Structure 1
Amino acid sequence: MSEEVLVEKADGVMVVTINRPDAKNAMNKSAAEAISAAMDDLEADGDVAVGILTGAGGTFCSGMDLKGFLKGESPFVENRGFGGLSQWTPKKPLIAAVDGYALAGGMELALSCDLIVANDKAQFGIPEAKRGLAAAAGGLIKLPRQMPWRIAMELALTGDFISAARAYELGFINRVSDGPSLDAAKELAAKIAANGPLALAASKGVIRDSHTWTDEEMWTKQQQYVAPVFVSEDAREGAAAFAEKRKPEWKGK
């Protein structure tokens, strides 16, 4: 794993930290590849239920590393997109913990996570239009699906930032913290990690994918995700634990 991305695991939660604070955690090729590798680790580790993506030094991610860009680097991973994440998602839940700025590609990384927790001083934006560019790593596609359409249009056309408080009002982020976002993200992750891993993956899958389903196919499509959950050992364990008034012991099968 690159030193530009740090990984820690504890209590069923993996924390992936973009570790380029001197560059405001701007994304370069090696960091993107390291995030992609961390996501593979998240998927493979049966002791980890939830991932958190955050940034070191008080900034989430300021976007693409322009110095790397000028050297011919691309902070994209094949089939996974910007930062190894914008065109792909792991099956397990992933939380963005945002301090400082989540701008341009950094905003698009946050958009690619399932949940967002932010410090109350955090700022979000896709300012590409101010530089004659467009937020092509998912911002233009995902933003109008995650906040009101006209607000997304305004952010894309003006390039202006919004505060964490405004983002929360719009339903774009889950929680605002007056302390480090990572602390609040870990609290949220702990609640998620206490639940059945198969149920988590199926629930995420349906919510993330169902926007493409027609009314005629949505029940059939949903069944493909949830049917294995109901016949799993974990389903029986969850019911037994409830009846016996004890904490369930998940096996992920």
Structure 2
Amino acid sequence: MSSAMLPDTHALPSPPVPRGQLATDAEALRRYAERAERRLTLLPPRPERDAAQEAQADALRDACRTARHSFLARHAEQVYEVLTEGRARRLRLNPLVREAQARFPGLVPAEARLAEDRDRVQAQKEGHEIDLGVFFGALLRCAVAGTHLMETMLHTAPGSQALLEDFRRTDRLELNSVHVERRGPAAHVTFRNSHCLNAEDNQLIADLESAVDVVLLDDRVRVGVLRGGGVDHPRYAGRRVFSAGINLKDLRNGAISYLDFLLGRELGYVNKLAHGLLPTESGWRVPAAVHKPWVAAVDTFAIGGGMQLLLVVDRVIAEDGAFFSLPAADEGIVPGLGNLRLTRLTGARMARQVLLSGRRLRAGEPGAELVCDEVVPAGELHDAVERAVADLAGPAVAANRAMLALAEEPWSHLRSYLAEFAVVQAQRIYSADVIARVESRWAGA
């Protein structure tokens, strides 16, 4: 189809302005999104478009996002009340999207459109996940809806309860990319993504949330330990590696999920490390969340998401020569909640050096002590971890740890950050510079 035969996007009227009635405004949004979608489907697939066609697609997507943003700016709180039946239902991210698709057509992309994008490399996706960022950003900006959603994501993930029963029976848990073993008062969580230097992918994120749930739910466990397992890379043969951060190969191939990884990671297992787990409705107990101290044992390096974990645990022990980095400027994406949490530990000046200029912190060197409590020779890491477990296993540690979390990261402050992160991260993973970087690395691999 030539550019001349394509529908004129200028014929699409301006996005509807919400008037205040939820049902009326929702119907106007549905009709508008439907018209935009019809025009978009008449265009060739993204890899086959010329510049003019891609400009038309951009205009259609932007117009529809503007309509969704305007609707949610007026009705986000009401929408959440409808989707959760007055907050009587606790819906995690994916079920919440499915409910929105059913009850408010046009508010988020249809499942068929999201599914089409899942099978494409990142450079060829339409970017429908950006609309999910608009949706969740709006919900998180609402004090009531956003807080309820955050609390929902601190509840036990599906399947964790069954895994807990197995763990209590055997003191071991073997997941696809994570191994958990109880040794006395400690549960040792080992990353086993050996083929990619323990980089994070969709599977590892899901497995880590299950593992964190089990550790926090098992009342025999007083302390959790995070450590990377051995890896396959010939440069590190026979060595453990803590984490190489996000799996950039998967990002290039379109296999990093916005819901399950980029947003779900921060609201799920990482937030549980920081703020505990809500196994049931809180009742009278204060604090309601189950907190336990965590130790991170860093072999070789903790890059990106690996370093982000160091910002929420209670004791970091690294082997001599290990390094930590948040290569956000190089990767082009936002390093999770690293921007929020690093400044608290290092101060603003060093945080800018790490986040904006890619400064590495090497264990034992000046400055690194701000994110690392102890540095030991590689052969002594195991014994240092055992000492840390003994130190943190006291009965009052968890309660004081919970109060520290409240003091250091107030819930409203965290919610405000997450609201902006939800949108910005969705935009970044579809930005031209990020796609160019991952394609360049792919070509040079």
Identity of aligned residues (%): 29
Cα shift at 1:73: 2.7
Alignment match, 1:210: 407
List runs of 5+ in structure 1 lacking aligned partners: 214-253
Per-residue deviation, 1:134 = 3.1
Check if 1:31 corresponds to 2:204: yes
State yes or no: 1:14 paired with 2:214: no
Match 1:188 to one of 368, 388, 398: 388
The aligned residue for residue 397 of structure 2 is 200
Asked if structure 1 preserves the Cα contact closer than 8 Å seen for 2:295 and 2:317, the reply is yes
SS of the residue 2:243 aligns to: coil
1:146 corresponding residue in structure 2: 345
SS of 2:175's equivalent in the other structure is coil
Superimposed CA distance per residue, residues 85-143 of structure 1 (whole angstroms, 9 cap, x where no aligned partner) = 333323101111101111111111222222211111211011120233332x1111111
Q: What are the Cα deviations for residues 9-60 of structure 1, in whole angstroms up to 9, with x where unaligned?
A: 0111000000112311001111111111111111111111000011012210
In 2: Cα distance, 1:77 partner to 1:39 partner: 18
Match of 1:45 among 218, 239, 254: 218
1:4 to 174, 177, 198: 177
Structure 1 residues 190, 142: closer, same or farther in 2, change over 3 A? same
Secondary structure of 2:176's partner? coil
SS at structure 1 position matched to 2:206: helix
Residue 101 of structure 1: aligned partner: 301
Q: Distance in 2 between matches of 1:15 and 1:26?
A: 18
User: Does the alignment pair 1:71 with 2:254?
Assistant: yes
SS in structure 2 at match of 1:118 = strand
Which of the two has greater strand per residue? 1
Distance of aligned partners of 1:50 and 1:80 in 2 relative to their CA distance in 1, 3 Å threshold? same
Cα distance in 1, alignment partners of residues 202 and 375 from structure 2? 31
Larger deviation, residues 8-17 vs 61-70: 61-70
Larger mean CA deviation between 62-71 and 35-44 belongs to: 62-71
The residue that corresponds to 1:247 in the other structure is none
Query: Quick check: which one's helix share is greater?
Result: 2
Q: Indicate the larger mover: 138-147 or 182-191.
A: 182-191
Deviation at 1:211, TM superposition (A): 2.9
Q: 1:30 to 1:212 in 2, by over 3 A?
A: closer
SS at structure 2 position matched to 1:8: strand
What TM-score does the superposition give when structure 2 sets the normalisation length? 0.44
Structure-2 separation of matches of 1:86 and 1:3:
19
**Distance in 2 between residues matched to 1:117 and 1:170, nearest whole Å:** 10
Of residues 112, 115, 118, the one that matches 2:318 is 118
Distance 1:16 1:208 in 2: 22
CA distance in 2, matches of 1:77, 1:154: 24
Deviation at 1:173, TM superposition (A): 1.2
Cα distance change of structure 1 residues 42 and 157 upon mapping to structure 2, 3 Å threshold: same
Instruction: Call closer, same or farther: CA 1:146–1:182 in 2, change over 3 Å.
Output: farther
Equivalent-residue separation in structure 1 for 2:197 and 2:383 (angstroms):
20
Shift of 1:66: 1.9
Measure the CA separation in 1 of the matches of 2:319 and 2:301. 10
Alpha-carbon displacement from aligned partner over 1:189-241 (angstroms, at most 9, x marks no partner): 12222x11xx222110111211356xxxxxxxxxxxxxxxxxxxxxxxxxxxx
Q: Does the aligned pair in 1 maintain the 2:188–2:224 contact within 8 Å?
A: yes
Unaligned runs of 5+ in 2: 1-173, 231-239, 277-290, 411-445
Q: 1:76 to 1:132 in 2, by over 3 A?
A: closer
Match of 2:373 in 1: 174
**Cα 1:169–1:111, aligned 2, differ >3 Å: closer, same or farther?**
closer
8 Å CA contact retained: 2:186, 2:224: yes
TM-score (norm 1): 0.75
Structure 1 equivalent of residue 425 of structure 2:
none
CA distance in 1, matches of 2:409, 2:304: 26
RMSD: 2.1
Secondary structure in 2 matching 1:62? coil
| Residue 71 of structure 1, CA deviation | 3.3
In 1, are the aligned partners of 2:361 and 2:368 still within 8 Å (CA)? no
Quote the Cα distance in structure 1 between the aligned partners of 2:209 and 2:262: 7
Secondary structure in 2 aligned to 1:210?
helix
Q: Which moved more, 1:157-166 or 1:177-186?
A: 177-186
* Structure of higher CA gyration radius: 2
Q: Aligned equivalents of 1:97 and 1:20: distance in 2?
A: 16
Assess if the C-alpha contact under 8 Å between 1:49 and 1:92 holds in 2.
Answer: yes
